[in-house]
Structure 1
Amino acid sequence: MDVRSAEFTKYAANCMLATKISFMNEMANLAELLGADIEEVRKGIGSDPRIGYHFIYPGLGYGGSCFPKDVRALIRTAGDVGFEPVLLHSVEARNNAQKVVLFDKLKSHFNGDLTGKTFALWGLAFKPNTDDMREAPSRVLMEALWQAGARVQAYDPEAMNEAQQIYGQRDDLTLCGTKEAALRGADALLIATEWKNFRAPSFELIRDQLKTAVIFDGRNLYDPAVVARHGIQYVSIGRKAS
């Protein structure tokens, strides 16, 4: 492979994966309006070997150092040679919009007023198994909450030091030592990263620790029927609220 093609291959690969993520997020938002369950849709289309299951999980959008940078870089490169990358612009626009979806659901649930409320946040890193918070959806979510007058009690298995370095000492941010500690006295639980140790929590503890028994899950970790059986309202991405 020649050097120019090799460089382009790297950008094209990351842009293709980013496109799959943005496509699924767009389908999730549409499924919710149409009364479909995006998790069932995901299983259906993923069973087609031409599509597969990789990178078709709906959520709060992509972050990190590679996908956002490479999508923007290829958009700029296209502009330099007079080409309008319509699809790449849409991929980026959907991703930016997706990062505020959970906040919008939260604000609607509390009738537009989040002033003085406290929210438990599970997950700060842009994906599991890293402490990287670059362009993480959690940052957009937290900053929107602060702007709305709310407080955040956050926990992440790896990214606590990173969050401390980014935000320093704030009256509206408490970094908790465990996911359970983040729940205490919170008005709701928000999930922004799909860490493995978030997948099988004690729903009884969640219900008992929260002021209002409601989970806003930005990564679709749980079965809505299971959550509902524990007396917890469940709001996720692309599925009906339980």
Structure 2
Amino acid sequence: MIELKTPSEIEAMKPAGRFVAGILTDLKAMTKVGTNLLEIDDFVRRRIESRKGAESCYVDYAPDFGTGPFAHYICTSVNDAVLHGVPYDYALKDGDLLSLDLAISVDGWVADSAISFVVGEKKDPEDLRLIKCTEEALAAAIDAAQSGNRLGDVSCAVGDVARSYGYPINLEFGGHGVGHIMHGDPHVPNDGKAHHGYKLRPGLVIAIEPWFLKTTDEIYQDPKDGWTLKSSDGSRGAHSEHTIAITDNGPIILTARDE
């Protein structure tokens, strides 16, 4: 069921958005060649434990698309991994493409956001192009998230940017409603038909999350951890995400980062 938030409830969601945004900003700044994925996970754990009212949305999360409960505080997807990456004992190398996806509840309200960036100085222009595509698709989708528009306008905006770059689009995983839970209605696909679907209303809060792979739209679940989604052909992926609220005065990015 799609739930609409009151203006006061949207205000109550802002601390979670700022908290998630601040952690991702700090992680991007501190992540270097040699940083271990488990260090990143532990950093998030300590930040959550130090914040009154904060709870991880990932620890013990057990949806039907994973194998058993997730046991970490953040998703860390490297290179050909693009979603649901489980942190493990791996020291990042120069040129690795890292995606960080983080959802935290603060005082009962959830915020969800993701960033992708290249570690170190060895930056492949094709990796940077892929990341830029996800960021531009996210910006276009947010621009389309106006009260009175349709959910298809948001999805179509994502798909149009991906097609302009020549990247294939996977529709298995996309954005979603956000509120007291991390994954709620409506589903927000990364492609769709403009002027179709649910009419956007003030109070709707959704996470929009464009993610693309360089040369395929096919993914598989890594059997080693039962969670990490990887490209079927080994090509790299990138992922960008914000939680936004629809209002009469346009969309509010609850997870906006001060960079």
Fold shared by both chains (TM-score > 0.5)? no
Which protein is richer in strand relative to its size? 2
Higher relative contact order (CA 8 A, sep 6+): 2
Q: Over alpha carbons, which structure has the higher Rg?
A: 1
The alignment's TM-score, normalised by the length of structure 2, stands at 0.28
